[in-house]
Amino acid sequence: MGRIVYWVHTSVDGFIEGPDGEFDWPEMGDELSAYSIDLSERADAFAYGRRVWEMMSGYWPQVESISDHPHDLAFAPIWRRTPKIVVSRTLTEADHGARVVGGGDLAAEVAAVRDGIDGYVLLTGGTGAAASLTALGLVDEFHVIVHPVLLGGGKRLLPDLDRRSLRLAGTRTFDGRSVLLSYARA
């Protein structure tokens, strides 16, 4: 059975977006970029909530005409070839070959996805899908990148969840500024 790994960037004060929804503050230095690419290359599938999916599906298919950033150019072919899952109660279909789950029994639909892989599904960004899957006990690992910035408000990392214990699985520093905190379900 596969695992679900939640991969997210956060500020020191616990926000994944700034007060106006901005996401211009994470710094993808060489080490963090290489780690992100490796994590993505090994994933059996990517998973997104609806809002993050709309952003990703609007950017990655045409990234070469938008960006010349080395990280973007390295990730684009990985994004295109990796199967994608969209967790949504409102979407019934998605482009780029993505599978939509969440219109029925979310726990059963996601468990079926997990049962169909040996490795992991990389759940990226956002809080809605991550909070829903965490509440159902379906997120196996949390890979939280803490960036050296205080946003002072915005969207919190995993708001409104009941208390649960996690086990520290590892830590790592990237580019002398960002820290990975890896946790597994206890």
Mean pLDDT computed over 93-101:
93
CATH topology for 3-152+167-179? Dihydrofolate Reductase, subunit A (3.40.430)
pLDDT at 59: 94
Smallest CA-to-CA distance from 23 within 8, 42, 2, 36 is with 8
pLDDT value of residue 103: 85
**CA-CA distance, 21 to 17, in Å (whole number)?**
5
Return d(Cα 119, Cα 71) in angstroms, integer. 24
pLDDT reading at 160 higher than 90: no
The candidate with the shortest Cα–Cα distance to 164, out of 122, 120, 131, 128, is 131
Mean pLDDT of the chain: 94
Phi/psi of residue 131, nearest 5 degrees: -65, -40
pLDDT digits (tens, 9 = 90+) for 18-73: 999 999 999 999 999 999 999 999 999 999 999 999 999 999 999 999 999 999 99
Q: What is the DSSP letter of 172?
A: E
* d(C-alpha 142, C-alpha 137), whole Å: 12
| Cα 107 to Cα 102: distance, rounded to the nearest angstrom | 8
The model's pLDDT over 122-146, given as tens digits with 9 standing for 90+, comes to: 999 888 999 999 999 999 999 999 9
Q: List alpha helices for 70-127, DSSP H.
A: 70-81, 106-115
pTM confidence score: 0.94
